[in-house]
Amino acid sequence: MTVELDKSVNQSTQMAFMVIEVMAEIGKPVALSELSRRIGSSKVRVFRFLRTLLSLGYVLQDPETDKYRLSYKLYHLGQALADSTDILREARPVMVELRDTTGFTVSLSQMEATGMRILDMVRTEQPVEIVTRPGALLDFHASAQGKIALAFGGAHLAEGPLRQWTGETPTDRAIVAADVLAARKLGWAEAPNQTLQGVTAVSAPVFDRDGAFIATLTIAGPTMIIGTPPAERFIEALIGAARKISINLGNTDQHT
């Protein structure tokens, strides 16, 4: 086939994805000449994109045959997307149930390199408005979600001063480390007034089928209602809900 590229968008990006898609369609190691023929482009041009994909780890080359094949890096990206979709589907009804049980806003977050990304929220009316929205990125040190990621997900604090959101945000790394140690021991973490004044968040970890940390489940509401430390009934409801999501994802270990 001959590739017709859309001139209204970046053609190099199109070509890179075309190489990946054609290799996936072939489904086995392929020589440069065959790949060039299938794409309908010169070997010099296709080789340039293969070299880039090789350097990024998306393509591998057999040293004996010189043929190219896709690496498992693409598989892991697809699996991450599938896992994300699974967790949203499995978590949503549990989040609604937890909201109804506790009366607090419930959120689901996943770890990124620099913080915790909120994937979904189930809201409730509260005297103190929870202004955080899905898509927001929360700092590790200033959120209950982040402390769980530091405790169970291998997250690391960035270098440099820690941002202070409120007068109660922990900016001393020793204090954050103590909070993380407590979270690992207890199986939950709290962040009273640390991102938003007057709001406490309490988080618990969610694990996938392999026992790996995959997300946090969080309740958030007025500090004066949740309590400091949080009331035991709220902690029990949160941990139970997080375990339920983990079990729904195929996890059988009891981490908390």
pLDDT per residue, tens digit, the chain (256 aa), is: 444 556 666 778 888 999 998 998 888 999 999 999 999 999 999 999 999 999 999 999 999 999 999 998 887 777 676 666 788 888 999 999 999 999 999 999 999 988 999 999 998 876 655 667 787 889 999 999 999 999 999 999 988 999 999 999 999 999 999 999 999 999 999 999 999 999 999 999 999 988 999 999 999 999 999 999 999 999 999 999 999 999 999 888 755 4
pLDDT at 136: 84
Same fold, 11-70 and 81-248: no
DSSP 187: S
CA distances from 18 to 2, 22, 23, 106 (A): 11, 6, 8, 41
Nearest to 212 by CA among 144, 145, 153: 153
- State the architecture of 11-70 in CATH terms: Orthogonal Bundle (1.10)
Domain residue ranges in the chain: 11-70, 81-248
Using left for φ > 0, alpha for ψ between -120 and 50, and beta otherwise, residue 194 falls in alpha
pLDDT at 256: 44
Continuous segment of H or E residues that includes residue 93 = helix 72-102
225 burial (CB, 10 Å; 0-12 / 13-18 / 19+) is middle
pLDDT at 137: 87
Please state, in angstroms and rounded to a whole number, the distance separating the CA atoms of residues 167 and 251. Answer: 39
For 81-248, which CATH superfamily applies? GAF domain (3.30.450.40)
Please state, in angstroms and rounded to a whole number, the distance separating the CA atoms of residues 130 and 196. Answer: 8
Continuous segment of H or E residues that includes residue 120 = strand 116-122
Strands 213-222, 116-122: pairing kind: unpaired
